[in-house]
């Protein structure tokens, strides 16, 4: 028996009567486990209006009181961590530990947002002119929206909602229809923590819902994470409608292995970052770049041995290192790219096609796959695979490895493994990529720094979380103030009228 997943509007779960729906699968079994409504334009508009009406009261709440809601929210999520992780795993296919990591990484940003009273402070200058003071204040935009992907159903909604709500905005979330239950529960927990009803609404849908958000005049800003073609569409459409936009797209993350690198450390990094979460991460390392033939041969042998021993299984099994892909369509797409790589002449070191898990033969499983001798003209190099596939591109020297990462049209993340500090320093300074790791496999910054890629991986001027998160969801108002002498200090008769001035004011 399937369950119905609700919208979350005005502080309550709402089950629409009739209308279009989409199936939500259990990736581990291939069975339909729920149905999610696909909102009409009228339903999305109603959610937007509801949020717009609730926003002024929340904006008038002091940042300190808003921070207390966030503190209570943290407590509630930690209390419910296990059922939340189980729910996330059941719809996405992540292992339970990985699902907990998804939630905890989102909570890192919520913890950062507790500092909103400090982060929203403006600047003040006295005596900018005779008797004149100048100060600035950060104010909420009003009503903002987030459109988030399936691969992090807790983390990315919290990355978007956290700074937006802490800044005093109302927030409308359109999560992925593939795994929509956790975002609904998170919004519900925010209300339980003290967030006024309607300030955080969750509405499910497809392109009709997205286009409604992009064109609605009440929405001031839109944040998105997903594939590059959709990121570009959302960026151009929302910007054309006068909205502030922050969009993050696909990736092709390289890990350069220098001849002096600790190979055991590099192999651990490539296995975990390449195959964790079945490769369904925008920060997954999908390209290994060993420098020199000797390094490449040694790296290939060690990777092949580790891949043979990887355990792919049901997400709830403690021994599983990763679980299924999110859908049958996702698996078919990845298998198609594997076939293209093989046909193009790449060497198949490990082939994960045809893997079945005993007892879960209809699940969307795909074994770990690795190619060697991949070239930059192959589709498996050019496209974001978003599956458990690792490509090895051999580089003759350091400069060639640096150019591979820098010239790729994506610029999300890159790592280098080396013992040479001078090489690492040169690499971090010169590589044309937004987030860089040195002996770190997944260079996702901590919450007080910003997250964002370059080139085809990011559209917009401001990144996610950190100080940029608050800059994106606020506008700066600058006040120039002058108070004439009061009657208590001198008499009106003693004042000399200045008269009108037609000269541009200066500080001189």
Write the pLDDT tens digit of every residue in 399-446: 999 999 999 999 999 999 999 999 999 999 999 999 999 999 989 999
Which DSSP symbol is given to 383? S
User: Per the structure block, which two tokens stand in for 449?
Assistant: 């720094």
Burial of 345-378, coded b for 16+ CB within 10 Å and e otherwise, reads ebeebbebeebebeebeebbbbbbbbbbebeeeb
What is the DSSP pairing of strand 124-129 with strand 413-417? unpaired
| Cα separation, 193 vs 321, whole angstroms | 34
CA angle 183-84-73, nearest 5°?
A: 70
Q: What is the pLDDT of residues 104-127, one digit of tens each?
A: 999 999 999 999 999 999 999 998
Rounded to the nearest 5°, which phi and psi values hold at 21? -135, 165
Sign of the CA dihedral 394, 399, 404, 410?
A: positive
Which DSSP symbol is given to 6? P
Q: How many CB atoms lie within 10 A of CB 120?
A: 18
Calculate what percentage of the chain has a pLDDT beyond 70: 97
In the predicted model, what is the mean pLDDT of residues 345-372? Answer: 97
Predicted pLDDT at 481 = 95
Q: Is 377 helix (H, G, I), strand (E, B) or coil?
A: coil
pLDDT, averaged across the chain: 95
In the predicted model, what is the mean pLDDT of residues 218-244? Answer: 97
What's the number of CA atoms in the CB half-sphere (13 Å) around residue 55? 26
Q: Of the residues 113, 247, 282, 391, which is catalytic?
A: 282
> Is 387 in contact with 279 (CB distance < 8 Å)?
yes
Has residue 496 got a pLDDT over 70? no
Predicted pLDDT at 497 = 58
Predicted pLDDT at 508 = 63
Calculate what percentage of the chain has a pLDDT beyond 90: 93
Predicted pLDDT at 502 = 78
Q: What is the pLDDT of residues 245-255, one digit of tens each?
A: 999 999 999 99
Q: How many CB atoms lie within 10 A of CB 58?
A: 23
Q: What is the pLDDT of residues 175-197, one digit of tens each?
A: 999 999 999 999 999 999 999 99
CA distance between the termini of the chain: 77
Predicted pLDDT at 211 = 98
Selection from 202, 219, 211, 117 nearest residue 161 by Cα = 202
Predicted pLDDT at 500 = 78
User: Per the structure block, which two tokens stand in for 229?
Assistant: 């073609």
Predicted pLDDT at 503 = 80
**Residue 113 a catalytic site member:** no
Predicted pLDDT at 290 = 98
Q: What is the pLDDT of residues 473-495, one digit of tens each?
A: 999 999 999 987 766 665 555 55
Which DSSP symbol is given to 372? E
The DSSP result for 391-456, as a single string, is EE--BSSHHHHHHHHHHSSEESEEEEE-S-HHHHHHHHHH---SEEEES-SS-PPPTTS-B--EET
Show the beta-strand stretches assigned E in 102-225.
124-129, 132-140, 143-147, 170-174, 200-202, 221-225
The DSSP result for 17-74, as a single string, is SSS-EEEEEETTTTEEEEEEE---HHHHHHHHHHHHHHHHHHHTS-HHHHHHHHHHHH
Give me the domains of the chain, ranges plus CATH numbers: 3-249+457-476 (3.40.605.10), 253-447 (3.40.309.10)
Has residue 19 got a pLDDT over 60? yes
Q: Is 298 helix (H, G, I), strand (E, B) or coil?
A: helix
Has residue 507 got a pLDDT over 90? no
Predicted pLDDT at 488 = 63
Has residue 353 got a pLDDT over 80? yes
Altogether, the residues listed in the chain come to a count of 508
Predicted pLDDT at 229 = 96
| Cα separation, 436 vs 76, whole angstroms | 34
């Amino acid at each position: 028996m399937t369950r119905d997943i609700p919208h979350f509007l005005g502080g309550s779960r709402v089950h629409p009567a009739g209308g279009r729906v989409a199936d939500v699968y259990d990736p581990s079994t291939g069975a339909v486990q729920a149905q999610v409504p696909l909102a009409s334009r009228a339903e999305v508009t109603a959610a937007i209006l509801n949020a717009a009406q609730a926003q002024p009261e929340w904006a008038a709440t002091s940042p300190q009181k808003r921070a207390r809601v966030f503190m209570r929210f943290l407590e509630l999520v930690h209390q419910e961590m296990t059922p939340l992780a189980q729910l996330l795993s059941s719809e996405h296919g992540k292992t339970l530990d990985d699902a907990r990591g998804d939630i905890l990484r989102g909570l890192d940003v919520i913890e950062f947002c507790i500092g909103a009273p400090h982060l929203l402070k403006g600047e003040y200058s006295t005596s900018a002119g005779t008797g004149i003071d100048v100060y600035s204040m950060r104010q909420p935009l009003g009503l903002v929206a987030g459109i988030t992907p399936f691969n992090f159903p807790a983390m990315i909604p919290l990355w978007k909602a956290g700074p937006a709500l802490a800044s005093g905005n109302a927030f409308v979330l359109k999560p992925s229809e593939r795994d929509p239950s956790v975002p609904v529960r998170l919004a519900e927990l925010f209300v339980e923590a003290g967030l006024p009803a309607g300030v955080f609404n969750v509405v499910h849908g497809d392109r009709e819902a997205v286009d409604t958000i992009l064109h609605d005049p009440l929405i001031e800003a839109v944040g998105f994470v997903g594939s590059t073609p959709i990121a570009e569409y959302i960026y151009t459409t929302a910007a054309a409608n006068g909205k502030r936009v922050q969009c993050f797209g696909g990736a092709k993350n390289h890990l350069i292995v220098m001849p002096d690198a600790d190979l055991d450390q590099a192999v651990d990094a490539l296995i975990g970052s390449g195959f964790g979460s079945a490769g369904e991460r925008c920060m997954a390392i999908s390209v290994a770049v060993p420098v020199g033939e000797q390094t490449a041969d040694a790296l290939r042998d060690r990777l092949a041995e580790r891949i043979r021993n990887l355990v792919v299984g049901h997400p709830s099994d403690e021994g599983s290192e990763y679980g299924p892909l999110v859908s049958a369509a996702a698996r078919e797409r990845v298998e198609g790219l594997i076939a293209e790589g093989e046909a193009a002449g790449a060497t198949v070191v490990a082939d994960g096609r045809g893997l079945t898990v005993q007892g879960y033969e209809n699940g969307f499983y795909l074994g770990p796959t690795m190619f060697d001798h991949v070239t930059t003209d192959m589709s498996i190099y050019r496209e974001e695979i978003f599956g458990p596939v690792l490509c090895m591109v051999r580089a003759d020297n350091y400069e060639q490895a640096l150019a591979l990462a820098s010239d790729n049209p994506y610029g999300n993340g890159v790592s280098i493994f080396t013992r040479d500090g001078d090489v690492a320093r040169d690499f971090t300074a010169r590589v044309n990529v937004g987030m860089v790791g040195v002996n770190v496999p997944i260079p996702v910054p901590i919450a007080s720094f910003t997250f964002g890629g370059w080139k085809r991986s990011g559209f917009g001027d401001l990144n996610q979380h950190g100080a940029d998160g608050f800059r994106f969801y606020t506008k700066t108002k600058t006040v120039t103030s002058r108070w004439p002498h009061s009657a208590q200090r001198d008499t009106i008769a003693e004042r000399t009228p200045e008269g009108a001035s037609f000269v541009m004011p200066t500080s001189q």
